[in-house]
Amino acid sequence: MPKIDVYDIKGKKVSDVELADSVFGIEPNEAIVHSVLVNYLANQRQGTQSTKTRAEVSGGGRKPWRQKGTGRARQGSIRAPQWIKGGIALGPKPRSYKYSVNKKEKRLAIKSILSSKVLEKELTVVDKLELSEIKTQTMVKALKDLKVEGKTLIVLPEQNKNVLMSSRNIEGVKTILINNINVFDLLKYNKLVLPLDTVKKLEEVYA
């Protein structure tokens, strides 16, 4: 079992914790992580792009000139694709890009990233992450004391308004609830900060 130090909000080591091998100690599977990431990004696409076909643009009810004898190419409508302001041939239409992947693959991807965070020493565990008031500067100091720098993801075990509001204006820092944990955020942010309760819940859900 990988063992990791546990700090308080002031950055002092208070204990250590043994992480479950089945969640934080597996061999990362990069292929599965890539597959689940592509699925996540596809599911975020709105698919609202649209172009008008020749049936949807205005005008063009009359043949612009007679078929023969003008010396020009034959034309049936001024709203054909080759005309300015004509319809678009084979253009995009509203569609859904969503597709599903196996739940086991999603779980394996999450565990793979969590394990790689441990291997690369990018995981910081705190005993409790609580603030007495909503104050950005207090949160900035807490992260500095924990020696967490760069793009940071904080995963809370439950709703905590003080922490959420205090961290939302810090550049490069994002706070989410454990229910919303996803491959994209775990990969996007270099550092991962987990309260001890979050670690326990992750082990309960993903073990």
Q: Do 67 and 150 have their domain in common?
A: no
CA-based nearest residue to 152, from 161, 143, 160: 143
Q: Do 132 and 151 have their domain in common?
A: yes
Q: What is the mean pLDDT of residues 139-154?
A: 93
Q: Do 179 and 193 have their domain in common?
A: yes
Q: Do 89 and 15 have their domain in common?
A: no
- Last-in-domain residue among 96, 114, 131: 96
Per the CB < 8 A criterion, the answer to whether 77 and 35 are in contact is no
pLDDT in tens, 165-179: 999 999 999 999 999
pLDDT in tens, 52-76: 999 999 988 899 999 999 999 999 9
Domain that holds residue 83: 47-96
Q: Could you give the number of structural domains in the chain? A: 2
CA-based nearest residue to 203, from 147, 137, 125, 146: 125
What integer pLDDT is reported at residue 207 of this predicted model? 82
| Percent of the chain's residues with pLDDT above 90 | 92
Q: What is the DSSP letter of 180?
A: G
Q: Do 77 and 150 have their domain in common?
A: no
Q: Do 133 and 54 have their domain in common?
A: no
- Last-in-domain residue among 96, 111, 131: 96
- Last-in-domain residue among 66, 96, 126: 96
Identify the CATH number of the domain in which residue 195 sits: 3.40.1370.10
pLDDT in tens, 87-146: 999 999 999 999 999 999 999 999 999 999 999 999 999 999 989 899 999 999 999 999
Q: Do 123 and 198 have their domain in common?
A: yes
What integer pLDDT is reported at residue 84 of this predicted model? 93
Distance of CA 123 to the CA centre of its chain: 19
Q: How far apart are CA 142 and CA 153, in angstroms?
A: 14
Q: Do 35 and 68 have their domain in common?
A: no
C-alpha gyration radius of the chain: 27
Q: Do 105 and 187 have their domain in common?
A: yes
Q: Do 167 and 126 have their domain in common?
A: yes
Q: Do 131 and 81 have their domain in common?
A: no
Q: Do 74 and 92 have their domain in common?
A: yes
